[in-house]
Chains A and B, each alone.
Chain A
Amino acid sequence: AQTVTQSQPEMSVQEAETVTLSCTYDTSESDYYLFWYKQPPSRQMILVIRQEAYKQQNATENRFSVNFQKAAKSFSLKISDSQLGDAAMYFCAYRSAGSGMRFGAGTRLTVKP
């Protein structure tokens, strides 16, 4: 079974600095997708970034980028120039064809002014 592990329950970063959230996953599939979702206190999950496993190039979305290491089954999220609005729960998720999305337990990110 596919599992997603986020080993950092909580992280803290100073405003304007950079933080990296870790995620590892376990799968025997070769074709799959990885996601980072953000869940602010308002509860609505928002997609931050998406990575196709067959693409070697790391995905980037403005201040958000990933370090995808397929062989190591690692998928970390880097947030640059952190802003107060980045404070939220961040969930790493995995999905392969024919299955639902599997989420990690989440990392709570605090941004200090």
Chain B
Amino acid sequence: ETGVTQSPTHLIKTRGQQVTLRCSSQSGHNTVSWYQQALGQGPQFIFQYYREEENGRGNFPPRFSGLQFPNYSSELNVNALELDDSALYLCASSPWMTSGAGETQYFGPGTRLLVL
């Protein structure tokens, strides 16, 4: 069974640029969530996708957007990068459960983004 993978592992961008981060879900999982983890803090929920549609969003501006593809891989796009966007970006996949809340999320290793 293949776990959750993310690419790239590290990335350096300059302020104002755009970035795309990628995530490949664990086999059999149809839900993916993205989190931003600033240094020394806990992860913060960005959004969740289920069957290619966004079905939950945290307190992040519209310049954070995403896609989920039919094979359940996913992208996180961030436009107009700001210095505060420097963080570890984690994706997590899970099978959908009726409750929508109790399923275990399996995390990828993350992408470390540095904005200069």
Contacts and interface: CB of A to CB of B under 8 A. Distances in A.
Interface of A: 4, 31-33, 35, 37, 42-47, 50, 52, 91, 93, 95-106
Contacts of A104: 42
B42 A106 contact: yes
A52 B42 contact: no
Nearest to B44: A103
A50 B94 CA distance: 14
B72 interface: no
A106 B44 CA distance: 12
Contacts of A95: 101-102
Contact of B107 (A32, A44, A106): A44
B77 to A, nearest CB: 18
Contact of B88 (A33, A43, A96, A100): A43
Nearest to A106: B42
Contacts of A43: 88, 109-110
B110 to A, nearest CB: 5
A97 B110 contact: no
